Amino acid sequence: MKRASVREVQHGLARILDQVSEGQEIVVTRRGKVVARIVPSLPSRKPLAWPDSAARLKRLAADGATGGTPPSKIIEEGRQERL
């Protein structure tokens, strides 16, 4: 773990980022006190698989509709009450 002052980071950010990309951890100090750590990023993960909500809804409702009042109708009624 290497130490670098705020001034060193300001004037040599590209060099410090090169070191971090190689796996080095940098501790940033101001007046001798640690104020930050610059660490390599985590390895990228594969994207999350989002559930297919439309297919689930179709499975739950045999005819493809859930019944009830459509949201657009509820919003419209709410607007009419305020006028």
Q: What is the pTM of this model?
A: 0.50
- Main-chain dihedrals φ then ψ at residue 50, nearest 5 degrees: -80, 140
Return the higher-pLDDT residue of 8 and 48: 8
Return the higher-pLDDT residue of 29 and 47: 29
pLDDT of 57: 76
Percentage of residues in the chain having pLDDT higher than 90 = 43
pLDDT for residue 77 is more than 80: yes
pLDDT for residue 54 is more than 60: yes
Which tokens belong to 43? 């390895």
Which residues are within 8 A (CB) of 16 and not within 5 positions of it... i.e. 6 or more apart?
Answer: 4, 8, 9, 26, 38
CA nearest to 37, candidates 47, 48, 24: 24
Number of neighbouring beta carbons within 10 Å of residue 4: 19
* Ranges for all domains in the chain classified under CATH 3.40.1620.10: 2-38
Return the higher-pLDDT residue of 53 and 3: 3
The reply to whether CATH 3.20.20.120 applies to domain 2-38 is no
